Each structure stands twice: as structure tokens, then as C-alpha cells.
């Protein structure tokens, strides 16, 4: 008897998150789409089910302790283990402002979603990931979180000097390494994925990569075999510098 693998993707009702969910469902995973809005979540899941995929909506606000705990409990009531967790939910914050002028409240909001959200969700779903015996966690980062890249004048993102967003992704990268080291004894692999500059609502659809291209690295990391890496930072070209 074949046991269906399971996956949960945060921020999965649109954009890159929805494409990751679609790809994992196409790979045969039962996928939960974690998002706050019931209507949008159910609509997104229904689109996948219409194509014969096993997709369900899971109410989840990554900034709210109680919401995350309730989502973990709800998922535990539907499955005994979780094979893949993709921490995709994120916000941009105050692009266009100098780091000297970016409001503190905006920076705090970005960190709440982009840093504390993935940590909060990972910790809450850890019992289900441990039960998998081969769990995979993907942190959706960005090359804007690479300190070395941002110090390289030849890098295409050198001039994108956004305090809140950039530093939140650097912090997420550090969290990725820390969690990966702690989770390794349980057979869990944890890696950071950079989808590249992708056309999404977050950037006003100015990106030059498609969501299909952007999802590739996350799906690859989500489906690693036992020989795959952990505590790494990757984009479509390979390993990124921290």
C-alpha cells in the first residue's frame, strides 16, 4: 500500500506559493494551502482539485501564535505526519525609502511575517515533521538576503538597499542554518530558496521571472532524497553566498 506524501505551503493562495503547491500536488503530494482568507484559500484549493489534485485549504496567519497553533492541531487531526513544509508567506515592506528613513513599524511588520512567521510555523509543525522521519523544510528567501551579494558592485541587486526586507531575509537565512542543525538528527533537511526576481503582486509584476521558474528551486529542495543537502542557500544557478 502506497502512503501519500503530505505538504503544507504558507501564503499559497496566489503567486509563487500557489505554483509550489500546484507542483507538489502534481508530484502526488496531498497539499494544504495555508493562508488567512477562507474565500481565497478555498478558491485556490478548488482550482487544484479541479485538475485532479489532492489540495485543501488550511486557515493560517503566520503572525498569530494562536492561529498557527490551531492550524497545526487541525492538520494533526487530518494526517499523522508532514513530509514537506514550505515557509513561503512574506511581505515587502517599505521599498523606495532610504534605510535612514524607513519607519520602525514597517520594519517590525516585515520581520513579523518574514522572520518570526517561518520560525513560529516551523516550531508548531515540528512534531508532524519529525513523524515523517524524512521531513523537508524550505524557507523562501531572496538574494537580497545575501550580504556578500549586496556588497558586490557587479551584482544586479547591489543598488537595492532596503533595510527591512533585505535584513529580514538575512535573518531568515541565519534561522535556516540554526534550525537545520537542530533538526538534522530527526532526518529533517532545512534549506533556503531564492526564487529570483519574479513577477508577482509584491513587486507590481515588474519581475522578469515567471512563477513557474521561481517555484522550481523550492520544489527541488522540498523533494530532496536522503543524499540531498541541508543548511544550504540556493537559486536556479546553484549555491548562493550567505
3 has pLDDT over 90: no
Helices (H), the chain: 15-26, 38-49, 65-76, 104-111, 117-132, 147-150, 163-183, 211-222
Domain annotation covers residue 153 = yes
DSSP state of 83: S
The pLDDT assigned to 160 comes to 96
Question: Sheet harboring 55-59: ordered strands across?
Answer: 55-59, 30-35, 6-10, 84-87, 136-140, 189-193, 233-235, 238-239
User: Per residue in 153-209, pLDDT tens?
Assistant: 999 999 999 999 999 999 999 999 999 999 999 999 999 999 998 877 777 777 779
Q: What is the C-alpha R_g of the chain?
A: 17
187 falls within a domain:
yes
Q: Is residue 194 part of a domain?
A: yes
Q: How many domains does the chain have?
A: 1
Catalytic, 111? Answer: no
pLDDT at 1 over 60: no
pLDDT of 201 reads: 75
Q: Which residue has the cell 531572496?
A: 142
Asked if residue 122 is part of any domain, the answer here is yes
Candidates 70, 99, 93, 85; CA nearest to 31 is: 85
51-105 pLDDT per residue, tens: 999 999 999 999 999 999 999 999 999 999 999 999 999 999 999 899 999 999 9
C-beta of residue 53 within 8 angstroms of C-beta of residue 31: yes
Catalytic residue among 29, 169, 197, 233: 169
Spatial contact of 189 and 230, defined as CB atoms under 8 Å apart: yes
Q: Which residue in 148, 157, 128, 237 sits closest to 193, CA to CA? A: 237
Q: What is the per-residue pLDDT for 2?
A: 60
Residue 117 forms part of a structural domain: yes
In this prediction, residue 202 carries a pLDDT of: 77
Say how far apart CA 183 and CA 41 lie, in whole Å. Answer: 30
The answer to whether residue 1 sits within a structural domain is: no
* Structural domain includes residue 213: yes
The residue among 149, 10, 169, 3 whose CA lies nearest residue 92 is 169
What domain range includes position 44?
6-239
Range of lowest pLDDT (1-5, 10-14, 32-36, 118-122): 1-5
Is residue 109 over pLDDT 90? yes
Mean pLDDT of 22-49: 97
In whole numbers, what is the pLDDT of the chain averaged over residues? 96
Asked if 208 is an active-site residue, the reply is: no
CATH number, domain of 84, equals 3.40.50.720
The predicted pLDDT at position 198 comes to 86
Query: Is residue 19 a part of any domain in this protein?
Result: yes
Average pLDDT over residues 4-20: 96
Catalytic residue among 29, 111, 165, 233: 165
* % of the chain residues with pLDDT over 90: 92
Question: Which secondary structure element, helix H or strand E, spans residue 58, and what is its range?
Answer: strand 55-59
Percentage of the chain surpassing pLDDT 70? Answer: 99
Amino acid at each position: 500500500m502506497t502512503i501519500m506524501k503530505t505538504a503544507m505551503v504558507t501564503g499559497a493562495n496566489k503567486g509563487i506559493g500557489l505554483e509550489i503547491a500546484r507542483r507538489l500536488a502534481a508530484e502526488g503530494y496531498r497539499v494544504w494551502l495555508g493562508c488567512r482568507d477562507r474565500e481565497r484559500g478555498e478558491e485556490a484549493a478548488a482550482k487544484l482539485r479541479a485538475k485532479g489534485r489532492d489540495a485543501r485549504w488550511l486557515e493560517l496567519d503566520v503572525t498569530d501564535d494562536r492561529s498557527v497553533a490551531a492550524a497545526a492541531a487541525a492538520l494533526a487531526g487530518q494526517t499523522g505526519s508532514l513530509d514537506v513544509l514550505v515557509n513561503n508567506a512574506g511581505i515587502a515592506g517599505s521599498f523606495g525609502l532610504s534605510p535612514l528613513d524607513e519607519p520602525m513599524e514597517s520594519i517590525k511588520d516585515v520581520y513579523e511575517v518574514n522572520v518570526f512567521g517561518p520560525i513560529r510555523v516551523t516550531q508548531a509543525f515540528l512534531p508532524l515533521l519529525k513523524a515523517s522521519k524524512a521531513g523537508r523544510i524550505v524557507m523562501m528567501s531572496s538574494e537580497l538576503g545575501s550580504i556578500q551579494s549586496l556588497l558586490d558592485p557587479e551584482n544586479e541587486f547591489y543598488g537595492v538597499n532596503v533595510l527591512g526586507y533585505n535584513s529580514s531575509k538575512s535573518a531568515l537565512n541565519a534561522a535556516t542554518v540554526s534550525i537545520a542543525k537542530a533538526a538534522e538528527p530527526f532526518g529533517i533537511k532545512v534549506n533556503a530558496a531564492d526564487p529570483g526576481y519574479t513577477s508577482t503582486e509584491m513587486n507590481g509584476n515588474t519581475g522578469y521571472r515567471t512563477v513557474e521558474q521561481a517555484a522550481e528551486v523550492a520544489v527541488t529542495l522540498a523533494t530532496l532524497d536522503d543524499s540531498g543537502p541541508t543548511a544550504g542557500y540556493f537559486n536556479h544557478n546553484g549555491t548562493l553566498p550567505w
